Amino acid sequence: MDKEYDVIVVGAGPGGSTAARYAAMGGAKTLLIEKRQEIGTHVRCGEGLARGLLDQAKIPIDRTWIAAEMDGARVISPGGFTFEVDEAKAGNEVGYVIERDLFDRALAKLAGEAGAHIYIKTAARSIIKENGKIVGLKIISQGEPMEVRCKIIIGADGYESQVGRWAGIDTNLAESDIMTCVQYRLTNIEVDPKYTEFYAGSSAPGGYIWIFPKSANTANVGLGLGAHIVKEGGDPKRYLDAWIAKNPKMKNAQQLDMIAGGCSINAPLDSVVCDQVMLVGDAARMIDPMTGGGIAHACLSGMEAGKVAAEAIKLGDYSKEFFQKYEKAWRSELEEKLFRNWMAKEKAMTLSDETFDTLISLLDKVGMDNISVINILKALHEHHPELLKEFEDLL
């Protein structure tokens, strides 16, 4: 490993690898570090991804990391009412169900091919400052402590990000903006291999249950609970086990693996940059508050951060002011949707099962070419004006 780089990217997930790729493509000498000994392991993810993202981030399709292709998504209420939406309208988590470990490695390979230096089993330990200015990172690589100098750090170190905290960027979350999740990969179940499914209501208070098919009889089946609901560590698993036990399509289910962890479901942060530092993806709290999906947002923000980092190196300007180019880029793409979905999430947490039934049956009845909060409110005004007041704070 060299002792000096233009850009160091911490974390080789989708956001980090994409940031490193675009920084290197732009001519910046780039280091990408991953704390684990294998990129793509210990993934906590439903593995859903929209087709359109791949074009936006110029990610070539590789069939080895596509497990299944989706035609759309279904939202199912506690009473069994179903709203179906095709893939084009279903958001950034519907299109492909991927093999996330292989996907992450493919993105890291693209970064390496673009010229980024990649080191695994290499963990950031702290930022190095001299006279109040960031000059590098202290790291441990393959068990060896060392210091590496740099001009820019891109934090792509996920939900538990330390880079943002070290740099003084406020990424703190309210308890209601944290979801606690558990997911099984189940086989020997009955599943529609062409549709993802989302179940709302009291089976998952403050969250929802998801099914992401991997094949005709195998799927990622998970549950997220609002952290304010969780009283004991095992609560998410107990809720999911209870739901699976009551689902006749899963009476013969067998577990292949289990993952658990937390994710952010907050409104967009006020800032994800400071002098010499940019945050991307989960580290920047860019997970969709309604769906919990983050792969697309990580790749898009990583692309924009990498481009801005390369430009900053060429101009010799690594200031927070210059990094507003990155802020403007990701916000123009994601901010309004993230804020709207956060507001919708806040409201969804308060709805009764009966209201969910009414809402989902209404959506199924009227159909929508363009699904948005505004259009849903218009439908409520026309068909269920008595419920409109319950939703008017979303305007």
Residues 6+ apart with CB under 8 A from 93: 46, 48, 49, 50, 196, 288, 291, 292, 293, 295, 296
| Cβ atoms 161, 287 nearer than 8 A | no
User: Using the 8-state DSSP alphabet, how is residue 4 labeled?
Assistant: B
CATH architecture group of domain 69-96+176-264: 2-Layer Sandwich (3.30)
C-alpha distance across the termini of the chain, in Å? 53
| Cβ atoms 263, 282 nearer than 8 A | yes
Q: How far is residue 334's CA from residue 176's CA, in Å, rounded to a whole number?
A: 21
Residues 6+ apart with CB under 8 A from 58: none
For the residues of 321-382, what is the DSSP string, one character each? TTTHHHHHHHHHHHHHHHHHHHHHHHHHTT--HHHHHHHHHHHHHH--SS--HHHHHHHHHH
Do strands 30-33 and 7-10 pair parallel, antiparallel, or not at all (unpaired)?
Answer: parallel
Scanning 247-323, the segments in alpha helix (DSSP H) are 295-315
CATH of domain 7-47+100-173+266-342: 3.50.50.60
In residues, how long is the chain?
A: 395
pLDDT in tens, 64-103: 999 999 998 999 999 999 999 886 666 656 789 999 999 9
Domain ranges within the chain, ordered by starting residue: 7-47+100-173+266-342, 69-96+176-264, 351-394
Alpha-carbon dihedral 73, 76, 80, 82, rounded to 10 degrees? -50
Q: At what angle do helices 295-315 and 100-114 cross, to 10 degrees?
A: 10
Cβ atoms < 10 Å from Cβ of 322: 16
Does residue 135 sit in helix, strand or coil? Answer: strand
In whole angstroms, what separates CA 109 from the centre of its chain?
A: 21
Q: What is the mean pLDDT of residues 288-308?
A: 93
Residues 6+ apart with CB under 8 A from 324: 273
User: Using the 8-state DSSP alphabet, how is residue 143 labeled?
Assistant: T
pLDDT in tens, 347-384: 888 889 999 999 899 888 887 666 666 777 778 778 88
Q: Closest Cα to residue 182, out of 142, 125, 122, 227?
A: 227
Q: How far is residue 30's CA from residue 35's CA, in Å, rounded to a whole number?
A: 17
Q: Closest Cα to residue 8, out of 166, 137, 171?
A: 137
Q: Residue 50's pLDDT band (boundaries 50, 70, 90)? A: confident
25-39, 270-284, 321-335, 344-358: range with lowest mean pLDDT: 344-358
pLDDT in tens, 302-339: 999 999 999 999 999 999 999 999 999 999 999 998 99
Q: What is the pLDDT of residue 226?
A: 85
Q: What is the pLDDT of residue 340?
A: 86
206-210, 259-263, 341-345, 378-382: range with lowest mean pLDDT: 378-382
Q: How far is residue 351's CA from residue 70's CA, in Å, rounded to a whole number?
A: 29
Do strands 195-199 and 72-76 pair parallel, antiparallel, or not at all (unpaired)?
Answer: parallel
For the residues of 13-67, what is the DSSP string, one character each? SHHHHHHHHHHHHTT--EEEE-SSSSTT-S-----EE-HHHHHHTT----GGGEE
**Mean pLDDT over all residues of the chain?**
92
- Percent of the chain residues past pLDDT 70, beyond the cut: 96
| Cβ atoms 169, 24 nearer than 8 A | no
Does residue 119 sit in helix, strand or coil? Answer: strand
Residues 6+ apart with CB under 8 A from 131: none
User: Using the 8-state DSSP alphabet, how is residue 269 labeled?
Assistant: P
Type of residue numbered 197: E
